[in-house]
Amino acid sequence: MEPAAFKLTEMLQKQKILSSGHRMCAGCAAPTIVKLMGMALRGPTMVCEATGCLEVATTIYPYTAWEIPWIHVAFENAAAVASGVIEGIEAMKMKGRYKHDHVDVIAIGGDGASFDIGLGAISGMLERGHDVVYMCYDNGAYQNTGIQRSGGTLPGQETTTSWAGKLEPGKRERKKPLAEIAAAHRIPYVATVDPYHHRDFITKFRKALEVDGPAFIHAYSPCPRGWRSDTSKSIELAKMAVECGIHPLYEVIDGEEWIMSGPSKRLKELIPLEEYWKTQGQFKHLFKPEWEEFRKGVQEQLNHDWELLKKRCGVE
C-alpha cells in the first residue's frame, strides 16, 4: 500500500490524478478537493462520478483531465454505479480473473447529486455495505445548472430558485444534515472535511479508504461563481466555514462514536455568521433591516446545532 502524502515534498511525488488544463472556474475549490483526495490514495483507484460541475468541466470529449480510471453515467446514480464497479471487481477476483489484489472505488457527487436526487442511491449503497468511499463536494447549490437551491443550500442563501426579494430572505429552510444521515446508516466511517485543513482532510480520506465497508466524506467546496465571492478567497472561505460553525469538522465511527476534529475542537467560540455572510454576494440582502430577525434566527439555529454536536462529541 502506498502511504498518504502530507508534506509538500511527498505531495509532489504522489501520482497526479487530475491534470491541469481542465475547465473548472477560477477559484473553484472542487479540483483542490480532488487533488487532496489524491494525496490519500493507497494504490489502484477508480472514480465513479455523478453529473455536475466537476464532471462536465473535466471530461469534455475528446479530452479528459482524469489520470485514473473514471466513469460517469448520470446525475443520481454515482453510488449505484460504484456498487456495480466494486462488486464486478469482487466477482472477477473471486473467480481468479482479476489482476489487481485490491482496487479502491470512490464515488463523487456535488450537493445536488448527494443531498437531493441521488440520496436514495447513496442510502442503498450504504445499507448494502459496499466497500466504497462516497464523497460529496458541497458548493451549496446546483451551481452547474446556474445556481439553483438544493437541500445543501444554507438558510439565507440567495440562488436562482430561492431569490431574495421583498418577501423572501433567500432560502428559508435549513440545510439537510447529510453527514448525520449517512452516519445514521451505522456505516464504519463518516467524516466532514474542508480544503483549508488539508492534513485533516487527507488523514480522514485515508481512514475512509481503509475501513472495510462504506465510508462517507462531506467536503465543503467554495464556489466563487455561485457565491459571488472573490476568486482568490476560496480557501479562506473554507477556513471561515469551519470557524463560524457552518461546516464543523468531525468524524462518526460506526454511527455511534462522534469525534470532533482538531480545527473545530480548538475553537474557543464561533465567529458570528455575519462575518462569513459579508464575504459573499449571495448573502448581501440579509443585511437589510427587514431581515434582522431572520438573521438572528439563523444564528440561533446554528448555535443550537453547534451545541448539539459538541454534546454528541463529548466536547465541553
Partner 1 sequence: MIFVRGAAFVPINAQQTVSEWRVSNVTVSKDKIHVEGLTGDAAIAHALKQCDLDVLAAYPITPQTIIVEDFQKFAANGEVQTKVIPVESEHSAMSACIGASAVGARVATASASAGLALMWEILYCAASMRMPIVFTVANRALSAPINIHNDWSDTYGARDSGFIQIYCQSGQEAYDTTIMAFRIAEDHKVLLPIIVAIDGFILSHNVERIEMLPDDEVLKFVGVRDPFISLDPDNPITMGPLALTDYYFEFKEQQDRAMYEVPEVFAKVEKEFEKLTGRKYGMFEAYRTEDADIILFTHSTPGGTAKAVVDVLREQGEKVGVLRLRMFRPFPTKEIAEALKSAKAVAVFEKCRSFGAPSNPLAIELRTALYDLKEKPMITDFVIGLGGRDVPPTTLVEGYEKTKEYLKKGESPLYETLGVRK
Q: Which residues bind partner 1 (CB under 8 A)?
A: 44-46, 48, 55-56, 59-62, 64, 66-74, 76-77, 79-85, 87-92, 94-95, 97, 99-100, 103, 120-121, 123-124, 127-128
Q: Is 75 helix (H, G, I), strand (E, B) or coil?
A: coil
CB closer to partner 1 out of 7 and 61: 61
CB closer to partner 1 out of 59 and 114: 59
CB closer to partner 1 out of 30 and 82: 82
Facing residues of 18 across strands?
66
- The Cα 41–Cα 184 span in angstroms is 26
The Cβ of residue 9 has, within 10 Å, a number of other Cβ atoms equal to: 8
CB closer to partner 1 out of 74 and 253: 74
| Residue 126 beta carbon to partner 1: minimum distance, rounded to whole angstroms | 10
| Residue 129 beta carbon to partner 1: minimum distance, rounded to whole angstroms | 11
| Residue 185 beta carbon to partner 1: minimum distance, rounded to whole angstroms | 12
Q: Could you tell me how far CA 229 lies from the centroid of its own chain?
A: 19
Where residue 96 falls (left for φ over 0; alpha for ψ -120 to 50; beta otherwise) is left
Distance of CA 294 to CAs 17, 29, 76, 187, Å? Answer: 43, 29, 33, 36
Q: Is 205 helix (H, G, I), strand (E, B) or coil?
A: helix
Q: Cell 448527494 appears where?
A: 114
CB closer to partner 1 out of 83 and 157: 83
Instruction: Kindly report the backbone phi and psi dihedral angles of residue 29, in degrees, each rounded to the nearest multiple of 5, phi listed first.
Output: -85, -15
| Residue 315 beta carbon to partner 1: minimum distance, rounded to whole angstroms | 35
CB closer to partner 1 out of 57 and 315: 57
Q: Is 216 helix (H, G, I), strand (E, B) or coil?
A: strand
Distance of CA 146 to CAs 26, 45, 56, 136, 141, Å? Answer: 16, 31, 13, 19, 9
CB closer to partner 1 out of 88 and 281: 88
| Residue 72 beta carbon to partner 1: minimum distance, rounded to whole angstroms | 4
Instruction: Kindly report the backbone phi and psi dihedral angles of residue 48, in degrees, each rounded to the nearest multiple of 5, phi listed first.
Output: -115, 120
| Residue 120 beta carbon to partner 1: minimum distance, rounded to whole angstroms | 6
| Residue 45 beta carbon to partner 1: minimum distance, rounded to whole angstroms | 7
Instruction: Report, in angstroms and rounded to the nearest whole number, the Rg of the chain calculated over CA atoms.
Output: 19
